[in-house]
């Protein structure tokens, strides 16, 4: 077999790759990083959504869930619902609301019979051997710090029990950390006995009735949301969730993580553009004479541009495709992390199109950069190119004379002259340092802002109080019962009187074509932030959550129509917007009198307590114990109820900050090495002359490193200042989709300075390492050039 010789273009390509190994490696690495972040950010989010939807469908979960306090008699309503066109299957079940305590943590659970779960739920029911065995959702077990075999106590306000955890399961309906309703599964005999005891002890309000239904498939069939909107009796429910709402709750925490990673990917894309611009400039300078020769030999300007541009595109495509193939394994791995932060542990579903989309974005970006960076070749003059390789740069300013810098020490004078003589070579380094500092200036304060439980609660607008309680006995005046119990408990523990005691309840209302859960209370808590406007002053004014206002295109000062399906729509003025990610941001705040305009209602049995100076965990535990000793009261530590949300958000953000910091350090080091080596190669003759004049190699290495360190430090300071100005608005734009309109990042000047100094030191060290390639040129070689 005769092997055909390589063509000239192939020989040129092989020569270029061997000679420009450093450039090639950097282009491949940067392309890999950007593709990986884009693919995993989008792919991980979609993986979470598709996996959760697959679990939901596999469990044969209903299309809608409606919850009522008490053991409701809903026979007529359920019969009418079952007769509604398009509705296929209606079920009701009863659970027992309890307060669970373990390892100094508390959470609200709903004891549920294993027979009342979705028929396809993956759960080891054979493990429920004893009447005290229980299986918890992954997120609930994590919030309480429980492992299989651990025991914990539950209190319904009527009876206290000790249960043993025998397993966990993926709850595709109420398992999200963002859901306040969590199911604890008992065997049917144990549950029936507890239910009978609770009913016999007048614990009606400790019970919860759940109505579920499914709708038939078909374009001409109503959606679950439409059916809920047409049910007048849903106005008495505490919540009415359709499947799309449940999916949104599983996307909130990944949405926060994805927003941060997306900012990082965009920043890396900007760095890629400048790095490619620099690489193109170096390649053009090196190939200027060769390009003149090729043009004399008959190659067109377009072919010469194609030769140089194709190399950039080919290397970037190689890096992007390598990561795309690797992402077949990494995206499911990231998907497992996403699912774990949502209380799910099942194998994720791979969504392939983000891989190809990310490759297309990176390759397209490189193509555009290559086209613009090689435009200078259109002015290629073969004779001038053969005369000088450097003609592409034109006449460069030699920089200030060393004589004008004589007052400065020699090393500083050399550094200043080098930076001022060729500032363009430091542009890519400056952009890299600025972007890196901006990311650190945004992410480090963001991590600090989410460092404590109270801070997370405040930033995310979660409903959290020192103590929450329910009056579980049937009474027309639950407020009097609770006030008496609270006064006694506060006196027993020796605490000051609380500053916030309010009755809250949830009510389903219809607004802007959506069924949402409204909070009914005359007392708006100080822990929630009003982003715009004021508190309602009469029964014709309401507050809307920012997420709901955005989704229905309502603004401060607008009139909105609200109804419960019973008495028609009622008009209200939106006098304020507040921030919360609770219930996926789709919430509103109604005063008691404002709600009475919609439908007459019973007094709320749910009470929330906060103190001006939050008591410590021991005091809260004593207060909760004292309240639970009062007849008809079921109390829990309020802030513990959101512990799973807080811990998941903190864990996710810590991981993101660590990932971005590692990527930033790696990228800054690689880019600095590339730029320093290219600078040394471009100024080879200058360094050789200085060495011949007696400058030591160590002094030249220090001069090179100092120039890079100085540039990186100044650029990082600018990036830190930019972060202090622009980071908060940028994060607000990205996180507005989860219901946040404002984020307060703690700004510390010392942090900005430390990041800038660290960035400068990193760049200086990388440049000093690269300066090992300083040329060793003899006088004879120097004169021959």
Per residue, the 3-state secondary structure of 502-567, as one string, reads EECEEEEEEECCEEEEEEECCCCCCCCCEEEECCCCCCCEEEEEHHHHHHCCCCCCCEEEEECCCC
Least confident window among 69-73, 361-365, 552-556, 778-782: 778-782
Span 363-377, pLDDT tens digits: 887 788 777 777 777
The pLDDT value given to residue 22 = 63
Better-scored residue on pLDDT, 305 or 609: 609
User: Which stretch of DSSP H or E encloses residue 470?
Assistant: strand 467-471
Mean pLDDT in residue range 170-192: 88
What pLDDT does 780 receive? 53
Which residue(s) pair with 514 in the sheet? 511
Neighbours of 658 (CB within 10 A): 12
pTM, entire model: 0.71
Nearest to 63 by CA among 224, 209, 226: 224
**Does 785 score more than 60 pLDDT?**
no
Determine the Cα–Cα distance for residues 644 and 650; give it in Å rounded to an integer. 10
Neighbouring residues of 218: CB distance < 8 A, sequence distance ≥ 6: 86
| Cα 206 to Cα 188: distance, rounded to the nearest angstrom | 18
- Say which residues have a Cβ less than 8 Å from residue 639's Cβ, sequence separation at least 6: 453, 454, 457, 464, 465, 466
| More confident call, 478 vs 91 | 91
Q: How confident is the model at residue 113 (pLDDT cuts 50, 70, 90)?
A: very high
pLDDT band at residue 542 under the 50/70/90 scheme: very high
| Rounded CA separation 447/657 (Å) | 7
Q: pLDDT value at position 168?
A: 92
> Could you state, in order of their start, the residue ranges of all structural domains in the chain?
11-65+222-395, 85-218, 400-464+641-785, 465-640
144 with 107: CB under 8 angstroms?
yes
Contacts of 708 (CB under 8 A, 6+ apart): 426, 429, 672, 675, 676, 763, 764, 766, 767
Percent residues over pLDDT 90 in the chain: 11
**pLDDT given for residue 150 in this prediction:** 92
Between CA 611 and CA 621, with CA 617 as vertex, the angle to 5 degrees is 90
Question: How many angstroms separate the CA atoms of 175 and 173, rounded?
Answer: 6
Query: How far is Cα 442 from Cα 173, in angstroms, rounded to an integer?
Result: 34
Return the pLDDT at 599: 79
Q: Which position has the higher pLDDT, 216 or 298?
A: 216
Residue 464 has pLDDT above 70, yes or no: yes
Instruction: Could you list the beta-strand ranges (E) of 611-746.
Output: 633-637
* Stronger pLDDT, 415 or 597, i.e. the higher one: 597
- Bridge-partner residues for 519, per DSSP? 506, 589
pLDDT of residue 513: 76
Q: Are 283 and 20 a contacting pair, CB within 8 Å?
A: yes
CA–CA gap between residue 588 and residue 714 (Å, rounded): 47
- Identify any residues that bridge with 112 across adjacent strands, giving them in sequence order: 185
State which of 440-449, 464-473, 573-582 shows the largest mean pLDDT. 573-582
Q: How far is CA 685 from the centre of its chain?
A: 50
pLDDT digits (tens, 9 = 90+) for 68-87: 887 888 888 889 899 888 89
pLDDT at 532 over 80: yes
Rounded mean pLDDT, 115-121: 90
Q: CB within 8 A of 407, min separation 6: which ones? A: none
- Tell me what the pLDDT averaged over the chain comes to: 78
Q: Does the structure show a pLDDT above 50 at 121?
A: yes
């Amino acid at each position: 077999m005769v092997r055909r010789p390589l063509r000239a273009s192939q020989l040129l390509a092989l020569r270029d790759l061997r000679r420009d190994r450093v450039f090639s490696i950097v282009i491949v690495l940067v392309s890999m990083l950007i593709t990986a972040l884009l693919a995993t950010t989008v792919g991980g989010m979609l993986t979470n959504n598709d996996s959760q939807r697959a679990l939901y469908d596999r469990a044969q979960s209903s299309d809608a869930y409606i919850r009522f306090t008490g053991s409701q008699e809903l026979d007529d309503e359920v019969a009418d619902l079952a007769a509604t066109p398009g509705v296929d299957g209606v079920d009701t079940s009863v659970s027992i609301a309890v307060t669970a305590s373990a390892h100094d943590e508390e959470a609200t659970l709903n004891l549920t019979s294993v027979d009342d779960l979705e028929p396809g739920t993956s759960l080891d029911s054979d493990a429920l051997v004893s009447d005290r065995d229980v299986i918890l959702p992954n997120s609930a077990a994590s919030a309480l710090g429980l492992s299989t075999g651990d025991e914990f106590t539950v209190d319904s306000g009527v009876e206290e029990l000790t249960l043993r955890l025998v397993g966990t399961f993926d709850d595709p309906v109420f398992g999200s950390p963002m859901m306040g309703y969590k199911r604890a599964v008992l065997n049917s005999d144990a549950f029936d006995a507890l239910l009978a005891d609770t009913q016999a002890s007048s614990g009606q309000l400790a019970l919860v009735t759940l109505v579920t239904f499914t709708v038939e498939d078909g374009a001409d069939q109503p959606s679950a949301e439409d059916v809920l909107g047409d049910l007048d009796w849903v106005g008495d429910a505490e919540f009415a969730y359709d499947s799309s709402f449940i999916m949104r709750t599983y996307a909130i925490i990944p949405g926060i993580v994805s927003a941060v990673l997306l900012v990082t990917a965009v920043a890396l894309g900007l760095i890629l553009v400048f790095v490619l611009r620099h690489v193109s400039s170096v390649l053009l300078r090196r190939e200027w004479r060769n390009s003149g020769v090729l043009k004399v030999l008959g190659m067109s300007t377009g072919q010469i541009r194609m030769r140089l541009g194709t190399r950039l595109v080919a290397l970037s495509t190689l890096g992007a495709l390598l990561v795309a193939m690797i992402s077949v394994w990494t995206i499911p791995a990231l998907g497992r992390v996403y699912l774990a932060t949502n209380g799910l542990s099942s194998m994720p579903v791979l969504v392939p199109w983000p891989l190809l989309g990310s490759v297309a974005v990176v390759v397209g970006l490189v193509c555009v950069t290559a086209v613009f960076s090689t435009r200078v070749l259109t002015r290629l003059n073969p004779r001038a190119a053969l005369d000088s390789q450097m003609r592409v740069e034109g006449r460069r300013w030699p920089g200030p004379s060393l004589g004008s810098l004589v007052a400065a020490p020699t090393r500083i004078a050399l550094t200043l002259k080098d930076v001022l003589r060729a500032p363009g070579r430091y542009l890519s380094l400056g952009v890299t340092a600025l972007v890196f500092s901006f990311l650190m200036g945004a992410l480090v304060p963001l991590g600090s802002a989410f460092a404590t439980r109270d801070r997370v609660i405040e930033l995310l607008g979660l409903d959290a109080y020192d103590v929450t309680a329910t009056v579980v006995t049937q009474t027309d005046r639950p407020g009097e019962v609770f006030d008496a119990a609270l006064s006694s408990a506060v006196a027993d523990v020796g605490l000051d009187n609380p500053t916030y005691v309010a009755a809250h309840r949830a009510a389903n209302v219809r607004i802007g074509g959506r069924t949402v859960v409204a909070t009914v209370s005359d007392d708006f808590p100080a822990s929630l932030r009003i982003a715009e406007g004021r508190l309602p002053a009469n029964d014709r004014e309401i507050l809307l959550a920012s997420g709901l206002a955005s989704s229905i295109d309502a603004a401060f000062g607008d009139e909105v129509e609200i109804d419960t399906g019973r008495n028609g729509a009622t008009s209200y003025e939106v006098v304020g917007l507040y921030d919360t990610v609770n219930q996926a941001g789709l919430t509103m705040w109604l005063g008691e009198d404002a709600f009475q305009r919609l439908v007459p209602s019973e007094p709320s049995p749910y009470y929330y307590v906060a103190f001006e100076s939050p008591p410590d965990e021991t005091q809260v535990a004593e207060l909760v114990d004292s309240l639970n000793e009062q007849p008809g009261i079921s109390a829990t530590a309020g802030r513990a109820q959101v512990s799973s949300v807080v811990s998941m958000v903190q864990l996710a953000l810590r991981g993101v900050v660590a990932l971005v910091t590692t990527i930033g350090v790696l990228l800054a080091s690689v880019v600095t090495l590339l730029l320093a080596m290219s600078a040394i190669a471009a100024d080879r003759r200058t360094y050789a002359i200085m060495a011949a004049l007696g400058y030591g190699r160590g002094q030249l290495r220090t001069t090179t490193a100092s120039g890079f360190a100085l540039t990186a430090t100044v650029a990082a300071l600018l990036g830190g200042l930019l972060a202090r100005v622009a980071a908060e608005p940028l994060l607000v734009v990205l996180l507005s989709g989860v219901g946040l309109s404002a984020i307060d990042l703690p700004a510390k000047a010392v942090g900005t300075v430390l990041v800038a100094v660290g960035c400068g030191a990193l760049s200086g060290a990388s440049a000093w390492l690269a300066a090992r390639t300083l040329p060793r040129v003899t006088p004879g070689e120097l004169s021959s050039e």
